[in-house]
Amino acid sequence: MKYHPHGSVLFCTFSLEEGLLLLANPLCKAIVKSCLAAACALYPVKICHIIVEATHIHLVLVVINPDHVEAFFRHFKTESAHMINGLLGRNKRTLWCEGYDSPIVLTPTRALIAIAYLYANPAKDNLETSIDRYPGFSSWKMFQSGKITRHWKRLRRPQFTAITRDANNLRGYTKRAEEILASSDEIQTFTLEPNAWMEAFGYHLPEEQQKLNEHLVARIRLLEDRAEKKRVREKKSVFGRERLLAQVFDTSYRPKRRGRRMWCLSEKRSVRVEFIRFFKALMQKARAVREKWKLGDVTVPYPPGLYPPSMHKLANALGR
């Protein structure tokens, strides 16, 4: 069960089943932009920050309509899967892992930590020394420049056909991206809302938001510096911007996933315990409602903020 009440801040992660397919080249970035803008237009959520790595995506969002969250992820994953599978010459292949991780962020401090982690991920994963040099898709430049509105092309599934072997490189990806973008006349507007998470916690004054953003950037730089010192100790180096741009689709890679899904995020144990107690009680209510639905009593409403299952079929219609 997931709990996504209106106005809540979520730290979301969703991953590929296998392969290195969310690359830093112009073709993959065009797919991400198109699917992101289309999903936001159809199922509005407030995207605060986002970063795309080869195997997964992290983003922080604020919920507008709880029903839109699941639909947003479903649309993004479905459309991107069809486009990437088209480029790989595959039909009806599962691309994404089932579901997504979306713990609710309970405190502004924990939200700031989550966003800093998001942008420091390339340094932590030894991809680049800093988010400034990371060539993959992210909202970093939009956040830093303050130019938060973008106009991106809407792309369609039939535009994506199998890439030939000789075009399976950066030059080929770039050329294909230019052709696909040139053949599309639909424009979508995407607006990043980097301060929406602050407003969700009651920080509305510009000076408060500026101070929090300064803390955020300082935290990112601290994490990047720690990652650099760790590489020096271990005598490692980063993968590098040029090699990231030159990566080709690799379906053989098997990601090693660690960790467990969380219900909530907070630096305060008492806040976490209180939320978990509340959430377990809410799930108990939801189970009781489902049992009544099974018996045919559909007058009992499902607890708000949770996603109700489809109604049970109580009878089959008989034709004459």
Does residue 258 fall inside a structural domain?
A: yes
Residue 307 has pLDDT above 80, yes or no: no
Does residue 121 fall inside a structural domain?
A: yes
The CATH number for 128's domain is 3.30.70.1290
Does residue 2 fall inside a structural domain?
A: no
Residue 310 has pLDDT above 90, yes or no: no
- Residue 189's beta-bridge partner residues? 151
Does residue 282 fall inside a structural domain?
A: no
Measured on CA atoms in the order 19, 23, 29, 30, is the torsion positive or negative? negative
Does residue 110 fall inside a structural domain?
A: yes
Phi, psi of 39 (to 5 degrees): -65, -40
Does residue 192 fall inside a structural domain?
A: yes
Does residue 263 fall inside a structural domain?
A: yes
Q: How many CB atoms lie within 10 A of CB 26?
A: 18
Alpha carbon distance 58, 71 (integer Å) = 17
- To the question of pTM greater than 0.75 for the whole model, the response is yes
Alpha carbon distance 292, 306 (integer Å) = 17
Q: Measured over all CA atoms, what is the biggest interatomic distance in the chain, rounded to whole angstroms?
A: 79
Does residue 306 fall inside a structural domain?
A: no
> What is the mean predicted confidence (pLDDT) over 220-249?
97
> What is the mean predicted confidence (pLDDT) over 151-179?
96
62-120 pLDDT, tens per residue?
999 998 999 999 999 999 999 999 999 998 889 999 999 999 999 999 999 999 999 99
Comparing C-alpha atoms, which of 120, 117, 124, 140 is closest to residue 238?
A: 124
What is the number of domains present in the chain? Answer: 1
Residue 233's domain spans which residues? 9-267
3-state SS class at 101: strand
